[in-house]
Amino acid sequence: MAEAFSTMARPRAAEHTEGRLAKTIEEQTAKLPSDTFLWAAVGSIGVSLALQVMGRSHLSQFVGQWAPTFLLLGVYNKIVKVAGSDQLDR
């Protein structure tokens, strides 16, 4: 049963192909270390905290909202490295 599930989860090359832009983005993001996005998220939290202490509340909230975006980009980066569309091209 596990074997049947694993074959259902992967699209076949004939069913799914990526465009040139998506492939280019995947190639470039795969070059970045995964922890780059984690450190960017931690950095935005730190900057947000510093701005809050300095009394710049609105700017602090703006910068603080970057953290989830960086983390999501890190997840995308990891997925591209593990199961990117280039797997279908091989």
What is the 3 state secondary structure string of 52-80?
HHCCCHHHHHHHHCHHHHHHHHHHHHHHH
pTM of the prediction? 0.67
Looking at per-residue confidence, does 82 or 61 come out higher? Answer: 61
Q: What is the pLDDT of residue 24?
A: 85
Is 14's pLDDT higher than 70? no
> pLDDT (tens digit, 9 = 90+) per residue, 31-72?
888 889 999 999 999 999 999 999 999 999 999 999 999 999
Q: What is the pLDDT of residue 67?
A: 96
Q: What is the pLDDT of residue 48?
A: 97
Average pLDDT estimate for 62-84: 89
Q: Which amino acid is at 85?
A: S
